[in-house]
Structure 1
Amino acid sequence: MQKQVIDLNADMGESFGPWHLGDGNDPSIMPLLSSANIATGFHAGDPATMASSVALAKQFGVAVGAHPGYRDLVGFGRRTIQASVQELVQDAIYQIGALQAFLQLAGLRMQHVKPHGALYMAMAASEDLSLAFLQALQGLSPALAVYCMAGSATHLAAKQLGVRAICEFFADRDYDASGSIVFTRQMGRLCPTTVADKVMLACRQGLVDTVDGQRIPIAFDSICIHSDTPGALQLIRTTRNRLLEAGITIRAPQGQSAA
């Protein structure tokens, strides 16, 4: 059964000082989204970038989430960091609090938290880390949602604790037979039409093709296209247009429409 409403999210503000990520198209990408995951300083982002990203989201009515990662600016948060669960959760709280301050100044509320990169994948595989992370999230605000993969340890922990889970479909990543994304540190340029076709198959039939040639069911509430994927602006624009042409409303989970 075709989806009638879907969230479209991307990671925003992933620059640092004079260094700009990927195509540097955040001002052009932001108006196309319904939700933005803003980097919080450990894998990318700095105070000025967080402030400008929040301002862009407010300007275009885009819901905002924190995008905390490993303390790994050199590796862009995509390297595994050996640290205790307590340390990782404390690092995340620190980052979420930083973005929350900028949102408060802008008169906005935080919709969600989405872990970044290797932290996202570590949580997806670890019940202990996911439970500790989400318990801290509940302490900050019971209204906060978490973005995760359906069936992951994070998703299961969220259901156990009563945290709202927004399950993602990764339009610009490959899937394996288990339904998990194939983690990669570098992405090549993708065909916008192919990515849009992949999204439409998922939205219309709830299916995705895997790297080993299978077609498996996929459950999701939000479509993610990473802003650091080469050509991200055209990928997002093409996908968004296809969704709207199919009569699918693009709307943040909190109900704020961006269509």
Structure 2
Amino acid sequence: MIWIIGGTSDANRLAERIRSEGHRVLISTTTAYGSQLAALQNFEIMEQQLSESDMEQLLTDTAISVVVDASHPFAELVSTQAMAVCARMKRPYLRFEREQVQIAGAHYYPDYDELIETLKQTSGNILLTIGSKNVHRFCPELLDRIVARVLPVSKSLDECQAAGLLAHQLIAMKGRMRVETNRALMEEYLITQLVCKESGEAGGLLEKCQAAQELGIAAHIISRPRLHYPLVFSDPEALVQQLNETLKVLRT
């Protein structure tokens, strides 16, 4: 069986491609939303926040042959843990990483602290499109200026409300949006500063930044964590080819 660390649209597309090769696939996610997306394609799903010991147990109990890590570019902890477990248990580990997209004119930051210090020197409303987990970092200093676009699930809304955001500061919408939709939201909420993660094309980065550029809004982007993967692919076909070659070696 192939274990795909998922929770993203990339993971689901990759799982479908791997299944088409005749391989049995298990997708793990950490959220109900991720599980719902995977369930639409009838994959075997495990919804659980896995510790390293959980991962070791999974590899043993489920007879996993190869681990394919297609988690979000910012899921640093799960990737680090999976690499460590695979190294200890001598299981092949393949990383699928979204291609990076460089946005001309955008400001890039290695961490939230530097970004927040920069935002303190600006004025106007700030649109956060970084998910809900890190919204609290911007509070209370920037609280009154924040509008957060998050997934329409209770956990995301609860995290934002715990950080102090009120209902009028929340936009609950799923998925990648068209440029026109992003532009309309920025105009409606009088946004002057856009904050994104370096999530790549699949994360809607291009559409958000294009809308900001058209409106003269400054774009601020948190750079991806830099991890040292043993094998990393941005081309799904190249990963599938490597997977098949790896499985052939394991069977000999």
The TM-score, its normalising length taken from structure 1, stands at: 0.28
Higher normalized helix content (fraction of residues):
2
Which of these two proteins has the greater Rg computed from alpha carbons?
Answer: 2
